[in-house]
Amino acid sequence: MKHFLIVAVLVIISTFLVYFGLAHAGLFPAQASTQAVYIDQLFQIHIKLISFLFSLIVVILFYSLIVFRKKKGETGDGAYITGNTNLEIIWTVIPIMIVIYLAYVGAYTLGEVRQIDQSALQVKVTAGQWYWQFAYPDYSISTNELYLPLNRQVDLQMTSKDVIHSFWVPEFRVKQDIVPGQTTELRITPTIAGDYKVRCAELCGASHAYMEGLVRVVNQVDFDAWVKTQQSTAVQDPVLRGQQLVNQYGCTTCHSQDGSQKIGPTWLHLADSKVPLAGGKSVTADKAYLVSSILEPNLDVVKGFPSSVMPSFKDTLDQTQVEAIVAFIQSLK
């Protein structure tokens, strides 16, 4: 009985120390959404269980190695121990009860984070290789930056243009896969104003690591002002509109505007220049070529660059948008 009491005390002490260390290790970023509160509560339960189970195993292991080690002069075998039915029942029933409890807590947490507010702001999210696009149906605007009003729930309706992506802002805790041909949903209620990053959490191709977007949480007054600015800057200047579209669709992930090398050819001095092609020919980068490169990017592949990397925007951009992007590229002289 003495050994059981000593082990029990050591397990309690070790559990407290391990949990204290994990709780103060800065494992999580800021808790910046209502949904994060529920998810972090679930994390805390798991961390407490991890601390206890780790201590239970390690303390018994080291205690046994030290106290019950073979003493000097001992030559016989250790005591033969048969099964203990009561102990086996205990270590079977208790884990089952814990699993059932965790299943209940997990289901409750899922229900809380998926609850929708009738006044939620709807944002349509489109993911593609390798960009984020956010449309606000209530305001008829579209942007590559996700602006969210503080303390108001946002209902994200998400779809993919090509492969599976995954929407993840660590500070909001919630994450959701985005599947081609389907619409998946995610609800977020931001509680801390500031700038965050949305990351793709599903390997989606060559530039997966660079698929990031700005998420900015502002108060309602600033959000309304931003909406008005976006509505008023849907300007007629094709170059400015082209720049907005380039940022919106993440074109700068693969194409530089300053001559530096990226996955695709730079756009600096590209317009009206001679472009060597993979087949040994060359072509003048006139308007027709630029339009063709956007709509049929694998038709004339530039020498030294891989094919089948850039997706076609034939079904994504209309004629006006394509012409605006071409105007922007032509301005980079």
Read off the CATH number of the domain in which 255 is found: 1.10.760.10
Residue from 29, 8, 61 nearest 192 by CA: 29
- 80: in domain: no
Per-residue model confidence as pLDDT tens for the chain (333 residues): 888 899 999 999 999 999 999 988 888 999 999 999 999 999 999 999 999 999 999 999 999 999 888 777 777 777 777 888 888 999 899 999 999 999 999 999 999 999 888 889 999 999 988 889 898 988 878 888 899 999 999 999 999 988 999 999 999 999 999 999 899 999 999 999 999 999 999 999 888 998 999 999 999 999 999 998 887 765 557 787 788 788 777 788 889 888 888 888 999 888 889 989 887 888 998 998 899 899 988 888 898 888 888 888 887 888 888 888 998 898 887
Number of domains into which the chain is organized:
3
CATH code, domain carrying 163:
2.60.40.420
Q: Same domain for 282 and 318?
A: yes
Question: Do 177 and 165 contact (CB within 8 A), yes or no?
Answer: yes
pTM of the model: 0.68
Listed residues 184, 199, 232: the one ending a domain: 232
Last residue of a domain, one of 201, 232, 263: 232
Asked whether residue 195 falls in the same domain as residue 134, the answer is yes
Residue 175 and residue 224 in one domain: yes
Query: Is there a single domain that holds both residue 220 and residue 260?
Result: no
Position 233 scores a pLDDT of 65
Domain coverage including residue 307: 238-331
Task: Give yes or no: residues 218 and 300 share one domain.
Answer: no
Last residue of a domain, one of 98, 114, 130: 114
Identify whether 209 is part of a domain: yes
> Are residues 92 and 165 both part of a single domain?
no
